[in-house]
């Protein structure tokens, strides 16, 4: 196909742990698939390489194909893989007040398979977090070791949630000095 005949309209990218896949669909509904090695250190490199590979099948240069896109879809497992493998940079997750249990319930139905209705209620109604109340409106969960948290903020107390154990520590790094004075 010539460049003038093919204008990609829809882009879908899946950044997996090993390969990054791209699907491009043009205005006629025709599609091509591109693949490239995933680059966890900078996902954009894998995205561009995979997109170039897909555009190559239509002989469309990257600079001419991208401006015609009207919709993009992204799906990725790289973040999930890093979280499960506990590799990568230390990170924090800001959670709006009232949503402290989000990480515990995010999997929806899979979390409760095998539990009766009363057991599900018991799990939710009898586990209470004690969020720090500083009027900020949200909390931070720091993923990392207790020793790392205590070495950086020695006066900060870390609270542990059962069943997650050492995995999530509650903390607000920017207000560590305020915590030191409050505790």
Q: What is the 3-state secondary structure (H, E, C) of the chain?
A: CCHHHCCEEEEEEEECCCEEEEEEEECCCCEEEEEEECCCCCHHHHHHHHHHHHHHCCCCCHHHHHHHCCEEEEEECHHHHHHHHCCCCCEEEEEECCCCCHHHHCCCHHHHCCCCHHHHHHHHHCCCCCCCCCCCCEEEEEECCHHHHHHHCCCCCCCCECCCECCEEECCHHHHHHHHHHC
pLDDT, one tens digit per residue, over 125-140 is: 544 444 444 444 334 4
* Cα–Cα dist 161/56, whole Å: 50
Burial 152-162 (b: 16+ CB within 10 A, else e): ebeebebeebe
Per-residue pLDDT of the chain (183 residues; tens, 9 = 90+): 444 578 999 999 999 888 999 999 999 999 999 999 998 888 889 999 999 999 999 999 999 999 999 999 988 887 777 777 777 776 666 777 777 666 666 655 555 566 666 665 555 554 444 444 444 433 444 444 444 444 544 444 444 333 333 333 344 444 444 434 433
Show the CA angle centred on residue 134, arms to residues 129 and 136, nearest 5°: 95
Q: Domain residues of the chain, as ranges? A: 3-82, 89-182
What does CATH list as the number for 3-82?
3.30.420
Residue 61 · residue 54 · CB < 8 Å: no
pTM of the model: 0.48
């Amino acid at each position: 196909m010539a460049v003038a005949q093919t204008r990609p309209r829809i882009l879908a990218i899946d950044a997996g742990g090993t390969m990054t896949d791209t699907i491009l669909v043009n205005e006629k509904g025709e599609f091509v698939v591109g693949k490239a090695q995933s680059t966890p250190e900078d996902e954009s490199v894998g995205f561009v390489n995979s997109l170039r590979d897909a555009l190559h099948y239509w002989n469309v240069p990257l600079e001419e194909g991208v401006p015609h896109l009207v919709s993009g879809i992204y799906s990725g497992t790289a973040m999930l893989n890093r979280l499960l493998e506990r590799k990568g940079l230390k990170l924090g997750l800001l959670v709006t007040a009232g949503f402290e249990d989000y990480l515990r319930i995010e999997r929806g139905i899979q979390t409760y398979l095998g539990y009766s209705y009363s057991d599900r209620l018991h799990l939710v109604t009898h586990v209470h977090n004690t969020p720090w109340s500083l009027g900020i409106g949200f909390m931070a969960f720091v993923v990392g070791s207790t020793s790392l948290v205590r070495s950086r903020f020695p006066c900060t107390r870390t609270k542990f949630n059962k069943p997650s154990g050492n995995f999530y520590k509650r903390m607000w790094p920017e207000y560590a000095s305020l915590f030191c004075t409050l505790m």
